[in-house]
Amino acid sequence: MTHSTHYLQIEHLRKSFGSFTALDDISLAIKEGEFVCFLGPSGCGKTTLLRAIAGLELQEEGRIVQSDRDISTLPPQQRDFGIVFQSYALFPNLTVSENIAYGLANMKMPRGERQQRVKALLEQIDLPDIGNKYPGQLSGGQQQRVALARALATEPGLLLLDEPLSALDARVRLHLRQEICALQRKLGITTIMVTHDQDEALTMADRIVVMDHGRIAQIGTPEEIYQKPATEFVARFVGSMNLMPARVLGARSLMLGRKEVQTPMVLPACDEGTLGFRPESVQLLDGPWGVNRDENLLFEARLDQIQFMGPFVRLEMCLDEELPCVHVDVAVEQHAQLNASIGQSLWLSIPEKDLKFYPAQHLNQSKPGVSRTAPDMGLAAMQVAGA
């Protein structure tokens, strides 16, 4: 076996439940000490992937290597990990201390040392005085922290978190995010967290694995995922994004609804696709003057609705009746300066680096042979996105 710097390596993992494909040829490498989030909508396979790493589900094909040991077929007992579930799965008839010490009893650790360790863990999670309470007497956030302490008690090399925060209310969730991150950094433990909450993934992870229908849609740092979503799916799922169906007229010319626009970037060779940009990347102008069309996309739209969102104002603008309305986020002061009224026409300018174009996928899949001289579609999208 070749030695590598990767702590966990997953190679060509495949798993299906009946006719449903949960994992479709998943390959992935995770570095030691890294915090990785599996992000995706429900049913995308993220939990199945986590459970396969834990040995709770058995893959049909593929290999899992953890710190140079092939664990593909080992039962969970023989793997090295700690796990926290969404339901906490704390034993309700045991006290907090007994819960945390549950795995230690098996390690033949002397009693005194065990108590010491439980005490240290309770301090680590900032709940030093709750050792004698039962889980039922704790709040949801406290229970989750106890579950974390229990998972860490046996000092595993890998921490698995299965939607650990989604059963908590918003305020506690924000607080626990920071706490888990801080603890993870302090211990330097390689951590994988499954979540469907993009904010959670963006704020906590070193790297995010976005999953869709049992496949990996994109792997990257939070910045990469947010700024350069590789596919339309990722763009849709992470953050808010204006996505407009478009017909390609030429290398730099698009048909948006019934309007033709000139694009600053060179479009890939295809017939149809989706143009995307984030609401905060738009600059609003009174007129088309002074904008370089080689660097910016420029078009006119009618202001339909104004929504006050607190820190910013969201404008709903109509480019064409056939298209979904365009969202534009502007800061509150800027909106006051703009002094726009409903029904008024404004010009929208979006810089080239913030524009994404995704060629329609069905074309790519149904006729793979007719891709002309164009490079691979996915690659094209990446290039367009400014990669």
Asked if residue 18 binds other proteins (CB under 8 A), the reply is no
**String of DSSP letters for 160-177:** EEESTTTTS-HHHHHHHH
Asked if residue 135 binds other proteins (CB under 8 A), the reply is yes
- Using CB under 8 A as the binding rule, the residues of this chain from 239 to 298 that contact other proteins are none
Span near other proteins by CB under 8 A; candidates 135-143, 232-240, 354-362, 371-379: 135-143
Q: Site for other proteins (CB under 8 A): how many residues? A: 41
- Using CB under 8 A as the binding rule, the residues of this chain from 211 to 240 that contact other proteins are none
Asked if residue 136 binds other proteins (CB under 8 A), the reply is yes
Taking CB under 8 A as the criterion, the residue among 9, 32, 89, 371 binding other proteins is: 89
Residue (75 or 288) nearer to other proteins, CB = 75
Asked if residue 81 binds other proteins (CB under 8 A), the reply is yes
Whole-number minimum distance, CB 194 to other proteins, in Å?
Answer: 13
**Could you give the CA distance from residue 227 to residue 38 in angstroms, rounded to a whole number?**
18
Taking CB under 8 A as the criterion, the residue among 4, 68, 75, 304 binding other proteins is: 75
Taking CB under 8 A as the criterion, the residue among 4, 27, 93, 139 binding other proteins is: 93
Residue (160 or 183) nearer to other proteins, CB = 160
Taking CB under 8 A as the criterion, the residue among 47, 48, 59, 143 binding other proteins is: 59
Count other Cβ atoms within 10 Å, centred on residue 151.
Answer: 21
65 contacts: CB under 8 Å, gap ≥ 6: 1, 8, 9, 10, 11, 71, 72
Span near other proteins by CB under 8 A; candidates 58-66, 180-188, 276-284, 365-373: 58-66
Taking CB under 8 A as the criterion, the residue among 4, 12, 20, 60 binding other proteins is: 60
Q: Which two tokens stand for residue 168?
A: 């908590």
Taking CB under 8 A as the criterion, the residue among 124, 154, 203, 364 binding other proteins is: 154
3-state secondary structure of 257: coil
Residue entry with tokens 């106890």:
146
Residue (139 or 345) nearer to other proteins, CB = 139
Asked if residue 156 binds other proteins (CB under 8 A), the reply is yes
60 contacts: CB under 8 Å, gap ≥ 6: 14, 15, 16
3-state secondary structure of 368: helix
Asked if residue 131 binds other proteins (CB under 8 A), the reply is no
- Using CB under 8 A as the binding rule, the residues of this chain from 341 to 380 that contact other proteins are none
Question: Are the beta carbons of 300 and 347 closer than 8 angstroms?
Answer: yes
In sequence order, what E strands does the chain have? Answer: 6-17, 20-31, 35-39, 61-66, 69-70, 82-84, 158-162, 190-195, 207-212, 215-220, 242-250, 253-256, 259-262, 272-277, 283-285, 296-308, 312-318, 326-331, 345-351, 356-359
**Could you give the CA distance from residue 329 to residue 120 in angstroms, rounded to a whole number?**
47
**Could you give the CA distance from residue 379 to residue 357 in angstroms, rounded to a whole number?**
11
Span near other proteins by CB under 8 A; candidates 57-65, 247-255, 292-300, 358-366: 57-65
Whole-number minimum distance, CB 244 to other proteins, in Å?
Answer: 39
Question: Are the beta carbons of 344 and 303 closer than 8 angstroms?
Answer: yes
**Could you give the CA distance from residue 117 to residue 379 in angstroms, rounded to a whole number?**
51
Residues at the site binding other proteins, with contacts judged by CB under 8 A: 54-56, 58-61, 72-79, 81-83, 85, 87, 89, 91-95, 102-103, 105-107, 134-137, 150-151, 153-154, 156, 160
